């Protein structure tokens, strides 16, 4: 059973709510700058984080940083469409599921790198 931590990852802590209650780096003034800042923050997080767990939602994903595996702890990442996974998906998520997803991602990246070579 996973535990969802409050707050934001350090790369996203400078985001502020805009007039519509959405988190933005730029205050919502320029979508290109917003996209660039979000992308840079996400790349920095991926380099630092243990793993980024994704949950398919509508036409996008809900993104969560895996802070700790045992006990499983996640923190929400306000990236792109800023979807969140339903509570039952978070509560039902187990360490073995995340470890299996980590192995799958590693194998996928290896296969893609091999195909490009």
Q: What is the mean pLDDT of the chain?
A: 93
10 Å CB burial of residue 111 (0-12, 13-18, 19+) is exposed
- The pLDDT of residue 42 is 97
Specify the number of domains making up the chain: 1
Domain extent, residue 48, equals 3-116
Q: Which residues contact residue 27 at a Cβ distance below 8 angstroms, ignoring those fewer than 6 apart?
A: 16, 18
Of the pLDDT bands very low, low, confident and very high (cuts 50, 70, 90), residue 20 is confident
Of the pLDDT bands very low, low, confident and very high (cuts 50, 70, 90), residue 46 is very high
The answer on pLDDT for 26 being more than 90 is no
């Amino acid at each position: 059973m996973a535990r969802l931590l409050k707050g934001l990852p350090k790369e996203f802590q400078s985001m502020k709510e805009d007039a519509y209650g959405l988190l933005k780096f730029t205050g919502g003034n320029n979508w290109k700058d917003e996209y660039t800042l979000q992308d840079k923050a996400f790349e920095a997080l991926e380099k630092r984080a243990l793993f980024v767990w994704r949950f398919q939602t509508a036409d996008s994903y809900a993104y969560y940083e895996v802070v700790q595996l045992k006990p499983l702890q996640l923190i929400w990442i306000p990236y792109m469409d800023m979807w969140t996974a339903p509570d039952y998906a978070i509560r039902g998520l187990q360490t073995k599921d995340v470890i299996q997803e980590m192995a799958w991602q590693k194998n996928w990246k290896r296969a893609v790198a091999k195909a490009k070579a």
